[in-house]
Structure 1
Amino acid sequence: MKKGKVFLVGAGPGDIRLITVKGLEAIKQAEVILYDRLANPKLLEFAPADCELIYCGKLPNRHILRQGNINELLVEKALEGKRVVRLKGGDPGVFGRVGEEAASLAEYQIPFEIVPGISSGIAAPLYAGIPVTHREYAESFAVVTAHDKSKEGKPVLDWEGLARGVDTIAFYMGVGNLPFICENLITYGKPSSTPVILIQWGTFGRQKTLQGTLADISEKVIEAKFSNPSIILVGDVIALREKISWFEKMPLHGRQILLARTSDAPSELAKELIDQGADVIEFPKWKRTSLPVDLAKVTAFEKILFTSPESVDEFFTAVMENGIDIRTICADFFGASVKSIKALNNRGFIAAHADELSEPSALLIVGDDSILKKEFDSADIMVTSKKELDYQFLPLFKRMLDEADVNTMVFPSSASVEPFLIALSEGDLDAAELLKGLQIVSMGKQTEAAVVKAGLSTIGTPANATKEALVEYLAACYPVEEV
């Protein structure tokens, strides 16, 4: 059997928009992905639907898979002829043990590529408003491991060289050893007044910072119960933060949003919320399988109602594959949502909303297998695809919830409420417990009615059912600090 190929990919520091183009291409073509805890799980949604996902995440003093097992898995999957991605947080060459993994692959003569990523030690400070070098403050920069393989885990370093010879130092995952770090830097020549900042979950919307000096930061960390994953930055360049801090000033920074999802396609609403500084967890994750359709009578219908943007694409793909001239279809087109209408508009068709369907005679409803005729009992149904819950993402969703501190729930449509609650039950998650204490926002009055009917409370609706209005509503009316 032909050997596969392995891509050792840096996922970047957390914000999924910071992954490299090459790294994203590798994910999109992967047959197997072995991913770490600090690689943003949202990146896995770019993988093919049949891609095998293997969690290799590590927590302090607890390993899901030890490094030797990971090396063996990479070799095993590649020898099966698979295209494998090893997805690692930050840059794989910066404390990512990529050298060990590459050596194992080379031993078996398995082809591989190493795809660099943006390192957390540079990105997290920048998202906190701190460049690690500056002509007036810092002409040198070092990245340093804050623990090693010794029994006590205390790093054996050239402390004098660091203290006297490096202007800015980034310590990785060193909260537990912070007193030891500060003591050694002071002992070997760093002034006790040297600024220190801890950046937790850097580049995520949940990013938090804690600032102090070598003399007092350890005590502050205990008081604030600050923990990993954090970058510890030491140096005078931290003073620039007051002038150029930008990320934490974004309108939705601190918002950790659970967004009900009805489509398997990328969400424009989720993108807008992320662009405005929020963390967004979308649920549930759907997968869609196209089905063969019978187009024998398609030219006989006077009206065609598309229930989703996906149904538009599936319908016209089937029309082309069956060699039907679109000009022979003379029906008026309708969309069940703004997105559906937009999908038709993008194909050059003027479409009306389903609410304008006054005479449902000779009506065809096109969509996935969840179609319900409802008030159109006489309509014909064309099922173009099967949509089902992607069970592979349920444990991943639970891990995302464990890592986050969700404070907001958004239902974008009335159709999103019931599938969301059903999917939670499929994952053995209690909706009442999960949503307890969250600000539940409904996009529109119909959505609000569906939320209330489901027995959930809601804080209200934006002025309009648009992503821009939602951002304004969350930022201005209900800031996170009031949660």
Structure 2
Amino acid sequence: MALGQVWFVGAGIRDREGLTLAAAAAIDQAEIILVDDLVNPAVWVGSEAEIVPVGKRGGQVSTAQVAINQLLVTYAQQGKRVVRLKAGDPGLFGRLWMEIEALQAENIPFRVVPGLSSALAAPLLAGLCLTEKSRWSSTDRRSSRQVVICSGHEDQPWSVLAALDTLVFLMASRNLPQICASLMTAGKPPATPVWVVKDSGRGRLQGSLAHPPSAQSPCVIVVGDLPHWTPPAQPLAGETVLITRAQVSGLRAQLQQLGAHVLELPTLVITPPTSYVPLDAAIQQLADYDWLVLTSANAVQAFWERLGVAGLDSRALAGMQVAVVGDKTALALQSKGIQADFIPTEFVADALAQELPGIPRRVLFPRVEQGGGMRWCRGCRHGGP
């Protein structure tokens, strides 16, 4: 059996829009995804890979590192395409090198896909500029402000850090009071601004070393006198919206543009039927039908896939009329080169049953295997034309 390959992928921040193109491609091709707890589940929505949570959130139960290493090795030795999905950038304050060493010991190929770190992106999204050359005079020997990214749960050389301009702390929410006290003890002025950047840059709190703001994980903490601005107000800022549909890219983008934090939890999963025999048989007899009824974009896609399997295309519908429910289904139909002959006034199947014009002799209605469309069929027989 050929060896598989492991991709160490940075998940960036927020959701799938924070991925690099290379990261998105790796996730889409994966068969197994070992994912850290801080990664937004929206990042892998739509993936058919097996998802293996491994934890890695401070203060909570996680899979032991040696066990994670062994999982990577085992899956790769099984010939799997494995993605090790890490929040932000995989090389920043993580255990990337430990996992790479485990793969190298077994001669397993791997690749590293960098990600957008919250240390840089979250402050900027919250209106904080970590460096600004124009604030220094032309005679200042420093070409820009010094920025140091620090781990917030380890002891630091506080006297060195206190002399620097800007400090960015990750994983520091529980230790913020101790961090502020250590910096003041090392000589940093008590009035030095302290910023807590919340929710991947969707909000921020300001305080000082002497009076730090409250911090709750996950967050990014920035210490320093920074140029800053107030991001434009958005009507849904601070709101979380749960979407339960399977295909939500357009709606998700609209909600995000309004400032909402969008979570996706599809309650329906679209899978192939147990058999295509009835539909394939009907496609071979399209000339016997007056109408083709399609009630979703998924139905359009599935029907055209079976047309292709039969060696047919849109021309096979030349003798039929096509009815659809809703504009989205009509657009999906247009993408196949067909204009809908009928769309009901209400975008529901019951209205289609009531309003379908004429007295159709035979109607071809591809539907979901269990339950879907039975009410519509009864409407055609009893309440419809």
Scaled by the length of structure 2, the TM-score of the pair is 0.86
Task: Determine the structure 1 residue equivalent to 2:216.
Answer: 227
Contact between 2:324 and 2:330, CA under 8 Å: does it hold in 1? Answer: yes
Contact between 1:360 and 1:376, CA under 8 Å: does it hold in 2? Answer: no
Task: Determine the structure 2 residue equivalent to 1:4.
Answer: 4
CA shift, 1:304, in A, is: 1.1
Q: Percent identity?
A: 35
Task: Determine the structure 2 residue equivalent to 1:182.
Answer: 180
Q: Which runs of 4+ in 1 moved over 4 A?
A: none
Alignment map for 1:33-432 (pairs within 5 Å): 33-48=33-48, 51-135=49-133, 136=135, 139-148=145-154, 155=155, 157-164=156-163, 166-203=164-201, 207-217=202-212, 220-221=213-214, 226-237=215-226, 240-241=227-228, 243=229, 245-246=230-231, 249-261=233-245, 264-291=246-273, 292=276, 293-294=279-280, 295-324=283-312, 326-329=314-317, 330-351=319-340, 352-354=342-344, 355=352, 356-359=355-358, 361=360, 362-369=362-369, 370-377=371-378
CA shift, 1:19, in A, is: 0.7
Letter in 1 for 2:315: R
| Matches of 2:293 and 2:336, distance apart in 1 | 15
CA shift, 1:265, in A, is: 3.2
| Matches of 2:75 and 2:299, distance apart in 1 | 36
1:353 is paired with a residue whose SS is: coil
CA shift, 1:4, in A, is: 0.8
| Matches of 2:267 and 2:62, distance apart in 1 | 24
Counterparts in 2 of 1:303 and 1:71: CA distance versus 1, 3 Å: same
| Matches of 1:194 and 1:367, distance apart in 2 | 64
Letter in 2 for 1:109: N
Letter in 2 for 1:110: I
Counterparts in 2 of 1:375 and 1:74: CA distance versus 1, 3 Å: closer
Contact between 2:15 and 2:42, CA under 8 Å: does it hold in 1? Answer: no
Q: Deviations over 1:33-61 (max 9, x none)?
A: 0001111101121422xx21111123332
| Matches of 1:358 and 1:140, distance apart in 2 | 73
Contact between 2:195 and 2:222, CA under 8 Å: does it hold in 1? Answer: yes
| Matches of 2:329 and 2:182, distance apart in 1 | 62
Task: Determine the structure 1 residue equivalent to 2:21.
Answer: 21
Contact between 2:150 and 2:167, CA under 8 Å: does it hold in 1? Answer: yes
Contact between 1:308 and 1:367, CA under 8 Å: does it hold in 2? Answer: no
1:123 is paired with a residue whose SS is: helix
| Matches of 2:376 and 2:58, distance apart in 1 | 56
Q: Deviations over 1:312-353 (max 9, x none)?
A: 111112112212353242211111222111101222222121
Q: CA RMSD in A?
A: 2.0
Counterparts in 2 of 1:55 and 1:358: CA distance versus 1, 3 Å: same
Q: Deviations over 1:180-214 (max 9, x none)?
A: 111121122211111111112214xxx33221011
| Matches of 1:307 and 1:27, distance apart in 2 | 31
Query: Which structure 1 residue ranges, 5 or more long, are not aligned?
Result: 149-154, 381-483
| Matches of 1:234 and 1:368, distance apart in 2 | 56
Task: Determine the structure 2 residue equivalent to 1:399.
Answer: none
Contact between 1:373 and 1:379, CA under 8 Å: does it hold in 2? Answer: no
Counterparts in 2 of 1:167 and 1:316: CA distance versus 1, 3 Å: same
| Matches of 1:360 and 1:366, distance apart in 2 | 19
Contact between 1:27 and 1:46, CA under 8 Å: does it hold in 2? Answer: no
| Matches of 1:144 and 1:253, distance apart in 2 | 29
Contact between 2:234 and 2:259, CA under 8 Å: does it hold in 1? Answer: yes
| Matches of 1:184 and 1:308, distance apart in 2 | 61
CA shift, 1:285, in A, is: 4.5
CA shift, 1:230, in A, is: 1.2
Letter in 2 for 1:10: G
- Equivalenced residue count is 354
**Mean Cα displacement is larger for which, 132-141 or 303-312?**
132-141
CA shift, 1:100, in A, is: 1.1
